[in-house]
Structure formats: C-alpha cells, structure tokens
Structure 1
Amino acid sequence: MPDPVIEVDSVNITRKDKTIIEEADFTIEQGTYMGVVGPNGGGKTTLMQGILGIMPLEKGSIKILGTPIQQFEQWNKLAFVSQYSINFNEKFPLTVRELVGLGRINKTNLGRPLKNDDWNQVDEAIEFMGITQIANRRIGQLSGGQKQRVFVAKAIVRKPQVLILDEPASGIDPEAQEKFYMILSNLNQEERTTILIVSHDLAAVFCRMSHVMCINKKVYTSPITPDNDPNEILRKAYGEHFRFVMHEHICEGVFDV
C-alpha cells in the first residue's frame, strides 16, 4: 500500500472570520494524480495554501510526509506552480535554462554557483518537459503554454514528491493544454510524483486523473473509475441540480447547471 504524503484531519480554515474550509478530513497517497475542483469561492486555493503552510489552520492538523506541518522542514519535497506563471514579467532577463536553475537553489547553497550536477539536473528537467529547443531563449519571448512548462521544469528540478498546480492550463490554447497534461501524466507515472491540480476543466480531470477532490467549504474525495458516476461526488460541491456528461471515446465533457 502506498505511503500517505498528505494527511488532513478535521481542518477548518477561516478568512476574516468566515469559515472557508470546514472539517476537511482526507489522506492522499504517494503517486496519486488528483484534480481539485469546485465552484468559485469554494475554497480550492485556500486549502492548497493550508497544505503549503501559507494559510494558518483555525482547527485540526495537517501532516506532510508523516510530519506535522508546524514541524515540517523538507519543503524541497513540495513544489507549487501558480496560475499566474504565464503572466511572468516579460522583461525578466533570464533564459529558460537560467530560470529553471533557480529551482536548484536552497538554503544550503544560497549565494554559491550551481555545480555541474545541478546543471545536469536542470537539463534533465528541461528535456523531460520537452523544452530543450527553447532552453536559451529569454522567458519573455515565450508563449503562455511554453512558460507553464518552464515553471513546471523549475518545480520538478528539485525532485519533489508532491507537485501542486493552481489552474495550470488556464490561458493556453487546447493543443498546448493537451501536451501539458500528457507531460504531467508521464511525470506521475514515471517518477511516481504525487500531483494535485486545481482546475475548472472537469473533462480534463475525469479523463486524465486517478482521483478527484471536490471542494465547496466541505471537502470530498473519490477515485476516478469507469464504474463511478462523476455526478455523485460533483453534486456534493456544485448542488443537486448539477449535471456533468462525459462523452465516450473522445473524452470530452459538457455540463449543465
């Protein structure tokens, strides 16, 4: 049985005296590929911030790799890619390779040049993400889809056990999205990296991922299998009148509210 990497026990998170997450209770095992969905304002980003140690907990506890989050120090084992990566400053002077290299910097080598092994890891991450041909281009010269792949390369160059992405495919064209999700699937399968993706694209989640987490103040999780009706869990977050239809074979989704 895979080891748990994230354990959330009876967690409440509040903002300005308003409860955003209530009684969240779940475990995520190593190698899970999970889509995190829910209506706007339901608490998706807030819960991810709690897992990343950014948002304090009003109640309950979170363990990362078996360690209470208050004592957790191996933050190089977690990586986060923001939805705003594609809006990165176009005038930033670094090349793709140099930017990915920043992912190898930690408190033990801060202020020192990267070693040959670090640059080897950088080149491996760049190759894995399929961006070798743009490695020497400035980040400001890239398309939105290319930027997202660069920032994922920067995240995985440190070999994290958990990768969290917030709306990574928003703002990029369908072809780039398809390539992006394929790369993430390979990362999950080949490296057994646990991946959590906050997304509004229900078709992408139920087509490509192994588990789904639905959040609307309450948190619900479920494996994704051919025998499971997506609406059973989705209606808990979106309401009883929500209807989601998966088209067979072509893996497209439409939904009516």
Structure 2
Amino acid sequence: MAEPVIKVEDLNINRNGKQVIEGATFRVERGNYMGVVGPNGGGKTTLLQSILGIIPHESGKIEILGTPIDKFSQWSKIAWVSQNSISFDEKFPISVRELVGLGRINRRNLARPLKSKDWDKVDEMLDFMGIKDLEQRRIGHLSGGQKQRVFVAKALVRDPEILILDEPVTGVDAEAHERFYMKLSDLNTDRGTTIMIVSHDLASVFCRMSHIMSVNRKVYTSPIRPDNDPNEVLQKAYGDHFHFVFHEHICEGVFEDV
C-alpha cells in the first residue's frame, strides 16, 4: 500500500449548528489523482477546507504527510486553488508573471525580494501551463480558462506535493476545460503530484483520474478501474435513483490534444 499523504479518521464537521461531514474515514495516497464529486451542499468544499486547516473540525483526526494537522507546519507542500480564484479585480495592475511570482513569497519573510532562482521557477511553470506568451498581460484581461491556468501556475511555483482544486473549470469554455484537465494529467503523471479536484464533470473524472471520492455528509472513496461499477460509489452520494451510464467509448475522442 502506498504512503498516505492525507489520512482522515472518523472526522465530524459542524457548520452553523448543522453536521456537514459525519464519520469520514479515508486516505489519499501519494500520486493519487482523485476526483471529488457529490451534490451541491453535500460538504465537498467544507471537507477540503478542513483538510487545509481553514475551518475547524468537531472531532476525529486529520494527518498531513504523516503529521497531525494541529502540529503540521509545512504548508508550502500543499497548494490550494479555489473556485473563486478567477474572480479577480480586472483593474488591479498586475501582470501574469508578477502574479505567478507571488507564489514564491515566503509568508514568514514577505519583504524578501525574489531571486533569480525564483524567477526561473516562475518561467518553468509558465511554460508548463502553456501561458508563457501571456506573461506580460494584465490578469484582468484574460479569459476564465487562462486565469485558472495562471492561478495553478502560481500554486505550483512552490513545488507542492499536494494540489487541491475546488471546481477550477467553472464557467470556462469547452476547449479551455479540456486543456486544463490535460495539464493536470501531465502534472500528476510527469511530476507525481497528488491531486484532489472537486468536479461535476463525471466523464472527466472517470476518464482521467485514478480515484473517486463521493461526498454527501458521508464520504466514500474508490479506485477507478474498468471492472468497477461507478454507480456503486456515486449512488452513495447522489441516491439510489442516480445512474451514470459509462461505456468503453465515452473517453474516445474527447480528450485529444487541443
């Protein structure tokens, strides 16, 4: 069994007097590419924010890279891109390259100027995400898909071991959607980055990812394999009435290079 980078045991989370997550127990292993699915309001974002230490949990255990969350300090090893990232003030005077460079700033030493090695990493991630040609553009002048790739590049300049994304392709066009998922697949395959991504696109989850997590107060996880019935885990989140038709041709021609 691979090393878990995230380990959760009997996690309970309450928000405003309502139990949002109940008794969650799961592990995310190093190198997993996990799609997080479930109905709106089911607790997906709350669960991820608790793993990130953004919101507290009522009871249970969370370990990150083998360390209990209350003792964990290596937050630079985890990158987070929220669904609101692209809601950026269009008038804010900052270029793509400058914004990505902010990801290299150590919060313990905010005044430290970036060094040449920092800008080398910025250039590397701009190239990797396919946005080097946009580096001098103002962030407010980009499309939704371009903005999301910029914010992922900003997250990646720290060389995180874990990347967590919350509905990162909401509101982007189909071509940008596919390009974005291709880059994430490259990141997982080529760099070994562990990825958790909230998505409502079940086809992308089952065609591209290694594992699925369904969340609707309860949390269930499963590897994605040809011999697995996807509805077993999906119905636990969406209900017995839900039926996802998955066949061998669903991925063909959908994810070609664009």
Structure 1 position 86, deviation (Å):
1.8
Structure 1 position 16, deviation (Å):
1.3
What is the CA–CA distance in structure 1 between the aligned matches of 2:38 and 2:194, rounded to whole Å? 20
What is the CA–CA distance in structure 1 between the aligned matches of 2:250 and 2:60, rounded to whole Å? 42
> SS of the counterpart of 1:12?
strand
Amino acid of the structure 2 residue aligned with 1:126: L
1:6-52 residue CA offsets vs partner (Å, 9 max, x unmatched): 00010000011211000000011110000000011110000001100
1:101-144 residue CA offsets vs partner (Å, 9 max, x unmatched): 00000134421210000000000011000001101111011000
Match of 1:237? 237
> SS of the counterpart of 1:85?
coil
> SS of the counterpart of 1:83?
coil
> SS of the counterpart of 2:245?
strand
TM-score by length of 2: 0.96
Following superposition of structure 1 onto structure 2, how do residues 179-190 of structure 1 map, counting pairs within 5 Å? 179-190=179-190
1:163-221 residue CA offsets vs partner (Å, 9 max, x unmatched): 00000111000111100000000000111100000111111111110000000100000
What is the CA–CA distance in structure 1 between the aligned matches of 2:214 and 2:184, rounded to whole Å? 20
What is the CA–CA distance in structure 2 between the aligned matches of 1:60 and 1:108, rounded to whole Å? 30
Match of 2:168? 168
> SS of the counterpart of 1:25?
strand
What is the CA–CA distance in structure 2 between the aligned matches of 1:196 and 1:225, rounded to whole Å? 18
Match of 2:178? 178
- Flag structure 2 segments of 5+ consecutive residues without an equivalent: 253-258
> SS of the counterpart of 1:80?
strand
Match of 2:155? 155
Following superposition of structure 1 onto structure 2, how do residues 85-164 of structure 1 map, counting pairs within 5 Å? 85-164=85-164
Match of 2:15? 15
What is the CA–CA distance in structure 2 between the aligned matches of 1:246 and 1:83, rounded to whole Å? 27
Which stretch has the larger CA shift, 1-10 or 222-231?
1-10
Give % identity.
69
> SS of the counterpart of 2:214?
strand
1:33-92 residue CA offsets vs partner (Å, 9 max, x unmatched): 000000111100000011000111101010000000001100000010011122211111
Which stretch has the larger CA shift, 216-225 or 99-108?
99-108
What is the CA–CA distance in structure 1 between the aligned matches of 2:243 and 2:250, rounded to whole Å? 19
1:213-239 residue CA offsets vs partner (Å, 9 max, x unmatched): 000100000000111010011011111
Match of 1:216? 216
Does structure 1 conserve the Cα–Cα contact (< 8 Å) formed by 2:203 and 2:250?
no
> SS of the counterpart of 1:180?
helix
Amino acid of the structure 1 residue aligned with 2:225: T
Does structure 1 conserve the Cα–Cα contact (< 8 Å) formed by 2:214 and 2:233?
yes
- Flag structure 1 segments of 5+ consecutive residues without an equivalent: 253-257
> SS of the counterpart of 1:26?
strand
What is the CA–CA distance in structure 1 between the aligned matches of 2:248 and 2:3, rounded to whole Å? 33
Amino acid of the structure 1 residue aligned with 2:74: Q
Moved over 3 A (4+): none
Match of 2:78? 78
> SS of the counterpart of 2:86?
helix
What is the CA–CA distance in structure 1 between the aligned matches of 2:8 and 2:168, rounded to whole Å? 24
What is the CA–CA distance in structure 2 between the aligned matches of 1:248 and 1:94, rounded to whole Å? 45
Distance 1:250 1:240, change over 3 A: closer
TM-score by length of 1: 0.96
> SS of the counterpart of 1:86?
coil
What is the CA–CA distance in structure 2 between the aligned matches of 1:236 and 1:97, rounded to whole Å? 43
Which stretch has the larger CA shift, 83-92 or 211-220?
83-92
Count of residues in Structure 1 that have an aligned counterpart in Structure 2: 252
